[in-house]
Amino acid sequence: MKKLLLILTILLCSGCVQNHGHFTVLSNKLVDVQDFELDKADRVKNIKGSDTAHIIIFVPTKLNPSLGAALSDAFTKADGDVMTDVHVTSWFWYIPYLYGYSGWSVEGDVVKTRKK
């Protein structure tokens, strides 16, 4: 009986993490880098941005977490508009009819290309 309960518990606690890759440059804003030397710019290193949503019982607190919102979170933290050397992941974890958690995260260096 204990083995069955343990197996059932493990099956009910499903989750997934997906690595979407590493990107050299990533942004969700219109950026003109034609006359901008990205490699010489001041950068804030190791900034992490995320966008998450919780699922309580079966009601989501937010409809869809997005990569764009995770990028915006990172840009807000470091006052920039372009990320370099970016690692992108998404995740989902859910215990049916109790609680769940999903989201996107980006981690990398943030550069400000705009003069404002």
pLDDT single digits (tens) 41-91: 888 999 999 999 999 988 888 888 999 999 999 999 999 989 999 999 999
Instruction: Give the domain range for residue 33.
Output: 15-111
Residue with tokens 């998404």: 90
What is residue 64's DSSP assignment?
-
Q: Tokens representing 110?
A: 């943030």
Q: How far is CA 91 from CA 30, 55, 56, in A?
A: 27, 13, 17
Tell me how far apart the alpha carbons of residues 57 and 37 are, in angstroms, rounded to a whole number.
50
What is the total count of domains within the chain? 1
Number of neighbours of residue 65 by Cβ within 10 angstroms? 21
pLDDT at 103 over 70: yes
Indicate whether 9 belongs to any domain.
no
Indicate whether 31 belongs to any domain.
yes
Q: Model's pTM, two decimal places?
A: 0.81
Q: In the chain, what percentage of residues exceed pLDDT 70?
A: 92
The pLDDT of residue 48: 97
Residue with tokens 């990107």: 23
pLDDT at 99 over 70: yes
